Amino acid sequence: MTATEINTGTDGEAGEDGGSAGGVTVVGSLSPSRAGDFMTCPLLYRFRVIDRIPERPSAAQVRGTLVHAVLERLFDMPAAARTPAAALELLGPEWERLLAEEPELATLFDDEDDEDGEDGAGGAREEWLAEARAMVERYFSLEDPRRLEPASREMYVETVLESGLQLRGYIDRLDVAPTGEVRVVDYKTGRAPRADFEARALFQMKFYALVLWRLRGTVPRLLQLMYLGNGEILRYAPDEADLRATERKVEALWKAIRRAMDSGEWRERTSRLCDWCDHKQRCPSFGGVLPPLPQAGGAPGAVAGAPLEPERDDL
């Protein structure tokens, strides 16, 4: 088993397809977000990973990024200063920082303009900001950050399985108890899923737990999803059997992805998520016409291990 752990906050390059990590040839790379894409709809995976068609971030996605940034910055402060008021004060500067990095975000609400050019965008912006404020406040109903000292935040991790499949992703927060027990924390700005969708939500966390287990040799004690959309927490204590099952699942997913790459057939899978899909107009299920594949069959060497932004899942 080879493993690397990077905490730089940037995409790793060492493990890209065709490269090697510790003597193992890397055959491809998977993050929880992209694995989730393929499970949701193989064609969506193709649009994002193979075609690399840029997407316009939704207001909800950008709000997720903003709230994540505020919660990350909050822990830069001394523990006693981490109050709700201090967190809310971070919203403005963090939004300005995001705008400076991506000026096109300034047009996020332009589509909301009323036909007569009245205040549609301004009203939508206010509503959006009010919900971001509510999410930050809701966070404080779930835990007291003055009593926490995270071991890591926005931590980039990667590992390479024996098969050569590289697993990687960003962990929102890692807490390590004095006893050494590890808690993996992820913030979600959506609402907690219904019980029958919990397994899906936990897949991402088990993916991270698998990477950490491979890196550190111990299974994280607790996986914690914090839903800031409705103020609920989903906790799960994984064991080795869980993580072995997760490893089998990601390997099976990767095989299915490779089959699609080899055949060039990326099935669309319609669901209510199609309503939010940025690629609906080119999706055959909605009367669209597929663009030609960038290379015949979607050459794995060109795409399989390439970093793709965003790897973070901010919703």
Q: Footprint of ligand SF4 on this chain (CB under 6 A)?
A: 41, 43-44, 268-270, 273-274, 277, 279-280, 283, 285-286
Residue 201 vs 283, nearer CB to ligand SF4: 283
Contact 166/207 with Cβ under 8 angstroms?
A: no
Query: 210 φ, ψ to 5°?
Result: -60, -45
Residue 284: CB minimum distance to ligand SF4, A: 8
Residue 46 vs 173, nearer CB to ligand SF4: 46
Residue 204: CB minimum distance to ligand SF4, A: 18
Q: Is 18 left (phi over 0), alpha (psi -120 to 50) or beta?
A: left
Residue 192 vs 283, nearer CB to ligand SF4: 283
Residue 103 vs 287, nearer CB to ligand SF4: 287
Residue 264: CB minimum distance to ligand SF4, A: 16
d(CA 53, CA 34): 14
What are residue 255's DSSP bridge partners? none
Residue 11 vs 268, nearer CB to ligand SF4: 268
d(CA 139, CA 69): 13
Residue 134: CB minimum distance to ligand SF4, A: 29
- Across the chain, which distance is largest between two alpha carbons, in Å? 64
- What is residue 57's DSSP assignment? P
Residue 41: CB minimum distance to ligand SF4, A: 3
Residue 184 vs 277, nearer CB to ligand SF4: 277
Residue 36: CB minimum distance to ligand SF4, A: 12
Which amino acid, residue 14?
A: A
Residue 310: CB minimum distance to ligand SF4, A: 17
Query: 3 φ, ψ to 5°?
Result: -155, 145
Pick the closest to residue 75 from 177, 172, 182, 179 (CA basis).
Answer: 172
d(CA 280, CA 250): 27
Residue 245 vs 273, nearer CB to ligand SF4: 273
What are residue 222's DSSP bridge partners? 183
Residue 108 vs 283, nearer CB to ligand SF4: 283
Residue 308: CB minimum distance to ligand SF4, A: 16
3-state helix, strand and coil shares in percent for the chain, rounded to the nearest 5:
50, 15, 35
Contact 156/93 with Cβ under 8 angstroms?
A: no
Contact 161/251 with Cβ under 8 angstroms?
A: yes
Report strand pairing: 165-176 vs 28-30: parallel
Residue 20 vs 285, nearer CB to ligand SF4: 285
Contact 34/49 with Cβ under 8 angstroms?
A: yes
Residue 151: CB minimum distance to ligand SF4, A: 36
Find the radius of gyration of the CA atoms of the chain. Answer: 20
